[in-house]
Amino acid sequence: MSDTTVVDTRPTKIMYVAEATAHGGRDGYVTSQDGQIALKVAMPPALGGDGNGTNPEQLFAAGFSACFHNALVLVGRRAGFDLTGSTVAAKVGIGPNAQRGYGLAVALSVSLPVLDQDIASKLVDAAHEVCPYSNATRGNIDVTILLG
């Protein structure tokens, strides 16, 4: 595939829709339509807030790490590997961008303790192609994947 080839990663069929509502932005609360999420949201101290609540970057890190881990388990199972004991941790950074707005960067730390490095690397690459969060962010934000 050449660098100019555009790969369409949009869904061909919507299988599930999540609904959440923010009240008050970064100093308020968020709720999900089904009641599973009801969280206070607060600016982190690094951005001038009191940190007495979660924040969008933490929620994005939780979603990305869970989604990527699920994709990893899926590709591992398809390849005949049991990934019990594996983990994916996400760090989401926020900062100003060149357009006078703000941007994100993500670092995923993947632990596959029962596999050799070559197989683990191939599974991580395959998961990065399958994961909806990876597909949504590809080319939009920096995503670094560390295998340890």
Rounded distance between C-alpha atoms, residue 59 and residue 98, angstroms: 25
Rounded distance between C-alpha atoms, residue 124 and residue 139, angstroms: 18
- Neighbouring-strand partners of residue 23: 29
Which H helix or E strand runs over 30?
strand 28-32
Q: In tens digits, what is the pLDDT along the chain, a chain of 148 residues?
A: 445 677 888 899 999 999 999 999 999 999 999 999 999 999 999 999 999 999 999 999 999 999 999 999 999 999 999 999 999 999 999 999 999 999 999 999 999 998 999 999 999 999 999 999 999 999 999 999 999 8
Structural domains in the chain plus CATH codes = 1-53 (2.20.25.10), 54-145 (3.30.300.20)
The whole-model pTM stands at: 0.92
Ramachandran angles phi, psi of 92, nearest 5°: -115, 120
pLDDT value of residue 1: 46
